[in-house]
């Protein structure tokens, strides 16, 4: 039977594909170390678990308002007030089943067919697919040659009559770069000049290292509030990936439309998970701080190990939990007689030979790179990096 051209064009998520392959090998008894998934290995905070249990005991197991329970939307507003001094009303907050569908709903509500979104590559896997699913077009500004920082003149040059939005993701998945205030002000000025939406994905905002601070664009440029859709959620900093709760904040008119779309797709996010997230936002700050300290340790460990390796180039990450490694100098070399033609064959060979799973950079619009998620235990990082080092030492021209 015929499938739609939309379905045929869609690529599956490469990070999920690598994780699935690594899990399959693990099930087959192989000593796999996976740097694939962007998923903390910590338990979700006790405050979240307790709030979820209490919600179940109270019988909170039915549909909730489509945009989320008011208690969670109020908790999100409280969080944004405390953390960034921003004042949002609960009607300007939409709760979704993770941050991912909210990004899709945002594209869907601002793009007409053929409209363009400016995207800074390397970029998270799902943006491009979601833009295309909405019949939009990604216009990529490459940052691989500029330390992963978009140059404002390149961004300006990429704007056309069809540009509708700029997608900003800081701290960035996959590069770990954190945008500073001047850059964000410059990007906001371009958005203002050309009357563009800003989608500001700050899902890693709690995770910055080495004294680098995250800046919220709306707090920096209050005039941008009316054109900005902020994306955040509990998945990363609160180690709550499986609960599937994200939130978007923005002008009520667009939040209402996104809520209407969501109403036809998923209805509300899981009721128990929403209550768990209220618990997390109100009672897990110490846990977030403890996990952050552990991430910083892991980041320092992986940076230290990677800096000692041959053939690769690498800039220490300032945020999120990814190390993005340039393996272009290895391409064309051989491992055990097998040629490493591109980042995809590099990843497959690394997994087969050393049972180390990383994600090919081409999934992030950055062929010739690999992404290592260091959201796993230090012993695993230590062992995985030992194997990666050995793999690199075995490369031959
Ligand atoms: C940049 C970025 N945005 C959004 C998401 C989606 O998060 P969630 O798991 O809450 O859907 C991710 C998850 O990997 C991400 O890396």
Shared domain check, 163 and 192:
yes
Is 215 domain-assigned? Answer: yes
Is 56 domain-assigned? Answer: no
Please identify which residue in the block is written with the tokens 């509708």. 164
Task: List, as one string, the DSSP characters of 198-219.
Answer: EEEE-TTTT-B-TT-----HHH
Q: Which two tokens stand for residue 134?
A: 């909405």
Shared domain check, 360 and 335:
yes
Shared domain check, 117 and 33:
no
Domain count, the chain: 2
User: Is residue 361 lining ligand 1, measured as CB closer than 6 Å?
Assistant: no
How far, in Å, is the centroid of ligand 1 from the Cα of 1?
33
Shared domain check, 253 and 318:
no
Encode the chain (397 residues) as per-residue pLDDT tens digits. Answer: 999 888 888 877 666 677 778 888 999 999 999 998 888 999 999 999 999 999 999 999 999 999 999 999 999 999 999 999 999 999 999 999 999 999 999 999 999 999 999 999 999 989 999 999 999 999 999 999 999 999 999 999 999 999 999 999 999 999 999 999 999 999 999 999 999 999 999 999 999 999 999 999 999 999 999 999 999 999 999 999 999 999 999 999 999 999 999 999 999 999 999 999 999 999 999 999 999 999 999 999 999 999 999 999 999 999 999 999 999 999 999 999 999 999 989 998 999 999 999 999 999 999 999 999 999 899 999 999 999 999 999 999 9
Shared domain check, 309 and 250:
no
How far, in Å, is the centroid of ligand 1 from the Cα of 300?
23
**Could you give the CA distance from residue 128 to residue 119 in angstroms, rounded to a whole number?**
8
Shared domain check, 291 and 279:
no
How far, in Å, is the centroid of ligand 1 from the Cα of 236?
8
Provide Rg for the chain, Cα atoms. Answer: 21
Backbone conformation region of residue 24, classed left if phi is above 0, alpha if psi is from -120 to 50, else beta: alpha
Name the residue at shortest CA distance from atom 1 of ligand 1: 173
Shared domain check, 296 and 278:
no
Last residue of a domain, one of 232, 253, 283: 283
Backbone conformation region of residue 320, classed left if phi is above 0, alpha if psi is from -120 to 50, else beta: left
Shared domain check, 253 and 271:
yes
Last residue of a domain, one of 283, 317, 352: 283
User: Is residue 241 lining ligand 1, measured as CB closer than 6 Å?
Assistant: yes
| Predicted structure pTM score | 0.96
HSE-CB for 110 with a 13 A CA cutoff: 30
Shared domain check, 318 and 265:
no
User: Is residue 99 lining ligand 1, measured as CB closer than 6 Å?
Assistant: yes
Indicate which CATH number applies to the domain containing 369. Answer: 3.90.1150.10
Ligand 1 nearest-atom number relative to CA 124: 1
Is 80 domain-assigned? Answer: yes
How far, in Å, is the centroid of ligand 1 from the Cα of 205?
12
How far, in Å, is the centroid of ligand 1 from the Cα of 340?
30
Is 81 domain-assigned? Answer: yes
Is 52 domain-assigned? Answer: no
How far, in Å, is the centroid of ligand 1 from the Cα of 14?
13
CA dihedral angle for residue 172, residue 174, residue 176, residue 180, rounded to 10 degrees:
-30
User: Is residue 173 lining ligand 1, measured as CB closer than 6 Å?
Assistant: yes
Please identify which residue in the block is written with the tokens 């067919």. 113
Ligand 1 nearest-atom number relative to CA 169: 1
How far, in Å, is the centroid of ligand 1 from the Cα of 305?
27
The single-letter DSSP state of residue 230 is E
Is 144 domain-assigned? Answer: yes
Shared domain check, 271 and 134:
yes
Indicate which CATH number applies to the domain containing 135. Answer: 3.40.640.10
93 and 255 Cβ atoms separated by less than 8 Å: yes
Domain enclosing residue 360, as ranges? 5-43+287-396
User: Is residue 170 lining ligand 1, measured as CB closer than 6 Å?
Assistant: no
User: Is residue 138 lining ligand 1, measured as CB closer than 6 Å?
Assistant: no
**Could you give the CA distance from residue 45 to residue 25 in angstroms, rounded to a whole number?**
30
Last residue of a domain, one of 247, 263, 283: 283
Shared domain check, 329 and 180:
no
Is 48 domain-assigned? Answer: no
Strand (E) or helix (H) holding 168: strand 163-169
How far, in Å, is the centroid of ligand 1 from the Cα of 196?
23
Is 57 domain-assigned? Answer: no
Shared domain check, 118 and 266:
yes
């Amino acid at each position: 039977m015929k499938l739609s051209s939309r379905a045929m064009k869609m690529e599956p998520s490469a990070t999920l594909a690598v994780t699935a392959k690594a899990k399959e090998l693990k099930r087959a008894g192989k000593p796999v170390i996976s740097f694939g998934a962007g998923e903390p290995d910590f338990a979700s905070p006790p405050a979240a678990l307790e709030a979820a249990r209490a919600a179940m005991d109270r019988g909170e197991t039915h549909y909730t308002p489509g945009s989320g329970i008011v208690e969670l939307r109020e908790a999100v507003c409280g969080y944004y007030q405390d953390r960034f001094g921003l004042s949002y009303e609960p009607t300007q907050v939409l709760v979704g089943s993770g941050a991912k569908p909210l990004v899709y709903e945002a594209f869907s509500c601002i793009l007409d067919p053929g409209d363009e979104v400016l995207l800074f590559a390397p970029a998270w896997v799902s943006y491009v697919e979601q833009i295309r699913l909405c019949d939009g077009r990604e216009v990529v500004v490459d940052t691989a040659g500029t330390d992963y920082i978009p140059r404002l003149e390149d961004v300006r040059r990429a704007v056309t009559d069809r540009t509708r939005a700029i997608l900003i993701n800081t701290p960035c998945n996959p590069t770990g770069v954190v945008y500073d205030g001047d850059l964000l002000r410059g990007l906001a000025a371009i958005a203002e000049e050309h009357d563009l939406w800003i989608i500001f994905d700050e899902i890693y905002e709690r995770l910055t290292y080495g004294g680098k601070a995250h800046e919220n664009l709306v707090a920096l440029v209050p005039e941008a509030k009316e054109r900005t859709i902020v994306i955040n959620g509990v998945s990363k900093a609160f180690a709550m990936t499986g609960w599937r709760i994200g939130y978007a904040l923005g002008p009520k008119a667009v939040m209402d439309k996104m809520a209407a779309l969501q109403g036809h797709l998923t209805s509300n996010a899981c009721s128990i998970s929403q209550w768990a997230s209220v618990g997390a936002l109100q009672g897990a700050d110490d846990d977030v701080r403890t996990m952050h300290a552990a991430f910083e340790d892991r980041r320092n460990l992986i940076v230290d190990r990677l800096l000692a390796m041959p053939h690769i180039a690498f800039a220490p990450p300032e945020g999120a939990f990814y190390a993005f490694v340039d393996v272009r100098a290895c391409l064309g070399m051989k491992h055990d007689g097998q040629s490493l033609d591109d980042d995809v064959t590099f990843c497959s060979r690394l997994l087969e030979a050393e049972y180390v799973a990383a994600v090919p950079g081409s999934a992030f619009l950055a062929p010739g790179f690999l992404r290592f998620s260091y959201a796993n235990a230090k012993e695993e990082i230590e062992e995985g990096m030992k194997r990666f080092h050995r793999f690199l030492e075995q490369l031959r021209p």
